[in-house]
Structures are given as C-alpha cells and as structure tokens.
C-alpha cells in the first residue's frame, strides 16, 4: 500500500513557488545564452562596427543619460531640458500617446457599433475589407503631404495602426456576446438597445477590448519607429541617424530604450487590466 501524499495548501503553495522559480531561472538562462551568442558574434564579425557588442552597447546606453538635450513640447511650446535619451523618448511619446489613444477610441467605437448593429455592419463591411489590408506605414506619404514631417504626421500613422487593432478586438468581442445572455437581460427588463449595449455587451466584451488595447501598445511602438525613420523627431530618427554615422552601438542603445519603454507600459497596463477585470 502506497504512503499517503500530502496535498494540503502548504504543499500546493510550495509547488507553485518552485514552478515560478524554475520559470525565472529558465528565463535568466535564455537571456544569458542570448548575451553570450551576441558577444561571440560581435567578436567574430568584421568590420567590428557591423555588430556592436553588449559592452559597447551598454556604454552607449549610459551615455544617452550623460548629456542633456533641449526639446520643445508641441502645442504648448514649452522648452524642456532633459537627458538626451529621455528627451528623444519624450519626443516619440508626443506623437505615440495621442495616436494610440485616439486610434484605440475611434477603432473600439466603430467596432462596437458595427458588431452590435447589423445594418451598419452591412453598410461598412466592404469598405473595411478594402482599407484593412493597407499597412499603416503605407500612409506615410499622405501623412507627410497632409501634416508635414513632424509630430502630427507621425501621430496619424500611429492612429491608423491602433485603429484597426482595437476595431477588430471590439468587433469580435461584441459579436461573441451569447444570445442566452441578451435573452436573460431582456427577461430582467433590459429592453432598450443602448441599455443592452451598455449593461450586457460592453462587460461581456471587456476582456477582448483590453486585450486589443494591450496588443496595440506593442504594435504601435513598431509603427511609430517606422514613421520616425522618415524624419519625425524621436528615437526612430535617432536610430537611423546613428546608423548613418556608423555608430551602431548608439542605435542599439536606442533600441534598448524602446524596449524598456514598452515593458514599463505593458506591466502598468497589465496591473490595470487585472483590477478592471477583477469582477470576473
């Protein structure tokens, strides 16, 4: 007869902690392996500037905060003196944040409306199918002509990218609302279409709406850097400017800066998402 196994709360907790520890150790192992491969690759590549090593890149990253740069905030005209890396990141945020928020708001609103109203869906679906495959960066030429090479043009490109991600998240979320749920709400006295959307469809679609916004946070970083390669001020412009001067370690340092900015935003939004969906 086998001995009884202890499956109490303490044992389960210890097992969970052990699993998390193993996950972190594997993550550290993967990071260490990447750094080793990068270091060896940098040592064996000629000419050496083609692949800057981890040490040179880290030194360039520190250097981004050793000097200061003056920038001007759009609209307000306020002059800011910040560490160089933070100054260029702030320039990017001047068009990243408005483009992300406006694109998410407009995309989610249209997605909710089309997903909820069949007539509107029938009217606009062909137009959506025509416009959706066009990548955001294809709109760069129009952004330059309409808004010029500055914050507004770059914000427009980010807007386009955020719009479609959040549109489909909202559209799919509302379409997935079960008929049993709406029938139950009708039985409880929810009759008006707007009330049904507010009290039933939105809470049901909330997880997909939040997932869509979180996805757009990352995707829009890729888009905004691409938009800045055409001349808008920010980290993307600095990446290509450093590469033109063969200062590849500086380009890598700005890439690290983008990664840190994204990770900070992603962690913050995940904490918000947990609180917002705590009712589930």
pLDDT tens digits, residue range 203-238? 778 888 999 999 999 999 999 988 887 778 899 999
Going from the C-alpha of 7 to that of each of 3, 13, 17, 174, 240, the distances in angstroms are 12, 10, 15, 42, 57
For residue 276, what pLDDT band results from cuts at 50, 70 and 90? confident
Q: What percent of the chain has pLDDT over 90?
A: 43
What sign results for the dihedral spanned by CA atoms 221, 222, 223, 227? Answer: positive
Tokens encoding 179: 């008929």
Spatial distance between the Cα atoms of 48 and 30, rounded to a whole number of angstroms: 25
In the block, tokens 């702030």 appear at: 90
Alpha helices in 176-228 (DSSP H): 179-187, 193-196, 202-228
Q: Enter the tokens of residue 210.
A: 């939040």
pTM: 0.83
Residue 103 near residue 161 (C-beta atoms within 8 A): yes
Mean pLDDT score, 188-203: 64
| Domains recognised in the chain with CATH numbers | 90-276 (1.10.3720.10)
**For residue 274, what are the contacts with CB-CB under 8 A and spacing of at least 6?**
none
User: Which own/partner contact pairs does 27-31 have at CB distance under 8 Å and 24+ positions apart?
Assistant: none
């Amino acid at each position: 007869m086998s001995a009884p196994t202890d499956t109490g709360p303490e044992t389960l907790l210890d097992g969970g902690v052990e699993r998390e520890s193993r996950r972190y150790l594997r993550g550290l192992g993967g990071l260490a392996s990447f750094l080793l491969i990068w270091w060896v690759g940098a040592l064996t590549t000629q000419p050496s500037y083609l692949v800057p090593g981890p040490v040179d890149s880290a030194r360039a990253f520190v250097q981004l905060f050793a000097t200061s740069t003056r920038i001007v905030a759009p609209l307000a005209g306020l002059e800011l003196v910040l560490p160089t890396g933070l100054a260029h990141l702030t320039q990017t945020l001047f068009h990243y944040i408005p483009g992300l928020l406006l694109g998410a708001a407009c995309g989610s609103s249209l997605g909710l409306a089309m997903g909820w109203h069949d007539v509107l869906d029938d009217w606009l679906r062909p137009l959506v199918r025509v416009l959706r495959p066009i990548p955001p960066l294809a709109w760069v030429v129009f952004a330059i002509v309409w808004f010029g090479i500055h914050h507004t043009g770059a914000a427009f490109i980010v807007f386009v990218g955020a719009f479609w991600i959040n549109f489909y998240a909202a559209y799919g979320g509302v379409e997935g609302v079960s008929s049993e749920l709406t029938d139950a709400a009708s039985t409880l006295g929810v009759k008006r279409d707007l009330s049904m959307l507010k009290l039933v469809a939105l809470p049901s679609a909330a997880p997909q709406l939040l997932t869509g916004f979180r996805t757009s946070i990352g995707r829009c970083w890729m888009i905004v850097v691409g938009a800045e390669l055409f001349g808008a001020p920010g980290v993307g412009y600095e990446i290509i400017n450093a590469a033109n001067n063969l200062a590849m370690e500086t380009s890598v340092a700005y890439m690290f800066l983008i990664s840190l900015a994204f990770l900070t935003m992603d962690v913050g939004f995940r904490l918000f998402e947990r609180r917002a969906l705590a009712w589930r």
